[in-house]
Amino acid sequence: MSKLKGFVGPLGDDLPSIFPIVAGVLLFVASLLYANNLVDEKNQQLDTRKAALGLSYIVTEKGLIDDAADFKSVKCEDQLQKFAASTRVNFLVTVKRFCQGIRIYQQGSPPQESPYFLDESRDLQARTWMYCTNVEGVPRGQIMDVPAHAVALSYPVAVTCPEGDLPLRGLGMITVAAWKGKTA
């Protein structure tokens, strides 16, 4: 019996070597889950970018925006909102027009120069001419809260300018923001 001093049994002698094996398996499983979460996050970002590109294509299809009523009824309510519903994204499309040139501001630009300023006043230099969104309760004349993870794309486009009796064309800027989930 004295020769068996410290002998716990066949399982008891192997017990200390089981802990590193369990720790290694847990580390391996945790790294797989972390990698899977990264892949899912990137896929969601790519899906949002793909939806934003689809929305951009619908808006810039002709390269000319000449009728506000057509934009609101056909583009916004019919095409953009249906596309956004099928891709399950929230979106905001703003159209600004610069018929008398573009003002360039340094740092600290006024907030109404934001592409997310939703006001349809006739001050063509500082305000959004038209906008379309599928987010409920957007305050008119306010800056809309767009999440930081939103995909924002900007495109130049030709717009009609209401100057005199002649139908002139000017420069417009379309900004498309798309995001999944709720607004910030």
Q: In whole angstroms, what is the distance from residue 12 CA to residue 9 CA?
A: 5
Look over the chain and give the mean of its residue pLDDT values, rounded to a whole number: 78
CB atoms within 10 A of CB 156: 12
Domain membership flag for residue 5: no
Residue 66 CB partners (closer than 8 Å, separation 6+):
159, 160, 167
pLDDT-derived band of residue 143, with 50, 70 and 90 as boundaries? low
pLDDT of residue 64: 84
pLDDT-derived band of residue 160, with 50, 70 and 90 as boundaries? confident
Which is more confident, 68 or 22?
Answer: 22
Domain membership flag for residue 47: yes
Domain membership flag for residue 146: yes
> Does the pTM exceed 0.85?
no
For residues 65-69, give the mean pLDDT.
77
Domain membership flag for residue 12: no
Q: What is the domain count for the chain?
A: 1
Domain membership flag for residue 136: yes
Domain membership flag for residue 121: yes
81: containing domain: 41-179
